[in-house]
Amino acid sequence: MPTFAEHCGIHDTNRQQALEQMQQLINASGIELVRFAWCDLHGTLRGKTLVAGATAKAIQDGMGLVSTLLLKDTSDRTAFKVFEAGGTDELPGFEFASNLLLLADPASFKPLPWAAATGWVQGQPWMQDGTPVELDTRRILQRALARLAEAGYGMKCGLEIEFHIYRITGDSSDDQLDPEQAAWPGLPPKVAMIHPGYHLLAEHWADMAEEPLRIVQHTAQALGLPLQSLEIELGPSQVEAVFDATDALTAADNMVLFRSAVKQALRRAGYHATFMCRPPFPNIMSSGWHLHQSLVDLKTGANLFQRDAPAAGSQATDAQYTLSELGEHYLAGLLAHARGMTVFCTPTINGFGRFRPNALAPQAVLWGRDNRGAMLRVVGQPGDAATRIENRIGEPAANPYLYLASQIYAGLDGITRQLKAPVATDAPYGEAGVRIPTSLGEALNALRDDAVLVEAFGKRFINYFTRIKQSEITRHEQATDKDDWQRREYFSRI
């Protein structure tokens, strides 16, 4: 009788070899527990922990996963009425909190550097009949990359991730675990800063923050993540991690693992890492996730945005002074769908507070040459193999699979329609340019109005996504203390 993985059509010789290698590593390294992890709609890892002896069977036959995990809003409330008649009519297979099956990829196995005798594998959910769960966000990026590959292109991405690290103070941990104070969501920790801020890249601030930064470094490197640098950002207790460019799926996987790993490793050492865009304190600086991207030739690996010399007759403010013709079309596609894609790049109520003038965050749908105030920053010059487009609209809490998929679909539309980009801005905070949405509700409306993105992601996914995000908006509107709501909703959890 075939295993469930064979029934799903994913178990082949390579997967079998990876499974055998995983088992050998488990036995040789004394692994006792293996975490089977999956990324939810909000970019958070969830999963179950199995004893080592149960892992091989779970890799082959899957592991039960309650389907409501795909239906949660940011507070972990189920946004669909799964036990009421008609409550999941638009999502067949999700009624009654039924089971899905999680199939993990044995090639993703990693020993966790902060947890003794513990391993980790990444999985994706399947329906019980062996069909893929199409709402799974990693699968959405895989579909987008397949569309890109049909045109002969691959995507390369580099990550710049700003976030905040704090030291947990006093009896904060005891308070969080006090059953008398339990709530939904629960208490955030009480914290102190690891550096005072407002001294960008200051070496003595880096030395002050050396212990937690060293934990981040060791954790990322032990997991095999391509960490390039750790930097002191402008805001109090704010830091930045920069990663070398990889293929798009690897970059998205790395982002999910990095966020989860550093939160866990730092917590064990008495620190709290948050990827909340604007932590709930006065005088903070917003954190962004700047996504560097280029298209490459799938056969040769050549950067398809690079050009050898400026286009004939072009000026420095023209797209084809720096970018290839294909690169200009892709850039123009990002601009054309900027408002629609915003909610995939900045998906929380909190994140929209970042879009303000002169804050190194964008306000309008504009591009610029090496301009950090513009939404899209074109980096490079003729002959530069690292020529790329940096999208500065993202927040560090974004689901990376949706963020990257939105770039692909927008860019492909620009290529298909051979769109032309306007001239580069030299006044990103001026009056020119269409404004980026200023709230989660406005961003959801802009997505629904973008026919290209709705078709690309699928109307069913868009309806599902907007319903869950609307639940977040409704609860925020009903909150009497909106600052406390954001503190509990985001500070501890993302």
Question: Tens digit of pLDDT for each residue in 150-191?
Answer: 999 999 999 999 999 999 997 766 778 888 888 888 888 999
- DSSP reduced 3-state for 476: helix
User: What is the average per-residue pLDDT within 315-342?
Assistant: 97
Phi, psi angles (nearest 5°) of residue 14: -65, -40
213 sits in which H/E element = helix 210-222
Phi, psi of 168 (to 5 degrees): -75, 135
Query: 240 forms bridges with which residues in the sheet?
Result: 162, 231
Q: What is the pLDDT of residue 201?
A: 85
Take residue 489 and report the two structure tokens written for it: 């909703």
Q: Is the pLDDT of residue 405 over 70?
A: yes
Q: Tell which residue, 125, 128, 144, has the closest CA to residue 136.
A: 125
Mean pLDDT of the chain: 95
pLDDT in tens, 347-390: 999 999 999 888 889 999 999 998 999 999 999 999 999 999 99
Length of the chain in terms of residues written? 494
Summarize pLDDT for 230-284 with one digit per residue, the tens. Answer: 999 999 999 999 999 999 999 999 999 999 999 999 999 999 999 999 999 999 9
What is the C-alpha to C-alpha distance for residues 172 and 168, in angstroms, rounded to an integer? 7
Write out the two tokens for 450.
Answer: 């973008």
pLDDT of residue 174: 74
pLDDT on residue 186: 86
List, in sequence order, every residue forming a beta bridge with 165; answer none if it has no partner: 273
Report the pLDDT value the prediction gives residue 45, as an integer from 0 to 100.
Answer: 97
Task: Look up residue 164 and give its amino acid.
Answer: H
pLDDT attached to residue 356: 84
Average pLDDT over residues 415-426: 96
Segment among 171-185, 206-220, 464-478 with least mean pLDDT: 171-185
Residues 6+ apart with CB under 8 A from 116: none
Residue 188 is classified by DSSP as P
φ and ψ at residue 152, rounded to 5 degrees: 90, 15
CA distance 299 to 479: 54
Q: What is the pLDDT of residue 133?
A: 97
* Contact criterion met (CB below 8 Å) for 446 and 393: no
Number of CB atoms found within 10 A of residue 60's CB = 18
Q: What is the pLDDT of residue 192?
A: 96
Mean pLDDT computed over 63-91: 92
Q: What pLDDT does 173 receive?
A: 67
At residue 431, the pLDDT reads 82
Q: Look up residue 365 and give its DSSP letter.
A: S
In angstroms, the Cα distances linking 138 to 40, 105, 249, 394 are 9, 13, 8, 18
Integer Cα distance of 225 and 88 in angstroms: 39
For 492, half-sphere exposure in the C-beta direction (CA atoms, 13 angstrom radius) is 20
Of 46, 64, 67, nearest in space to 54 by CA: 64
